Amino acid sequence: MTRYTRTKEKRTDPRPAYIPLGVDTEDASYVYHTRTESVYTIEGTTVAYHQSLEGHSINVYMDYVADRRGWADRRLHRTLGDGLEQANPPEAV
């Protein structure tokens, strides 16, 4: 009979382990690691930075990147409406 060892912590977080956040105007990519509540900044093929959110919301970090570098392609939005607006920007009148 095969025995399986279960970890003491049962996973209850429905989110995937990694969530792509987007690409900034300087071509760096951002990935949110949900298990450790931290963000990896990838420049080229190298992890340039690893930042713990230290209890802050991911939205605070997204706003920080928007203010510092700007988003060329933002993948994670505060609301569904924000995401739809980026996907379908209003036409200029």
pTM comes to 0.75
Q: What is the mean pLDDT of the chain?
A: 84
Q: Which residues contact 73 (CB under 8 A, 6 or more apart)?
A: 22, 23
Per-residue model confidence as pLDDT tens digits over 42-87: 999 999 999 999 999 999 999 999 999 999 999 887 666 766 676 6
Burial class of 31 by CB neighbour count within 10 A (0 to 12, 13 to 18, 19+): middle
What are the distances in angstroms from CA 83 to CA 35, 37, 57, 75?
Answer: 24, 22, 18, 8
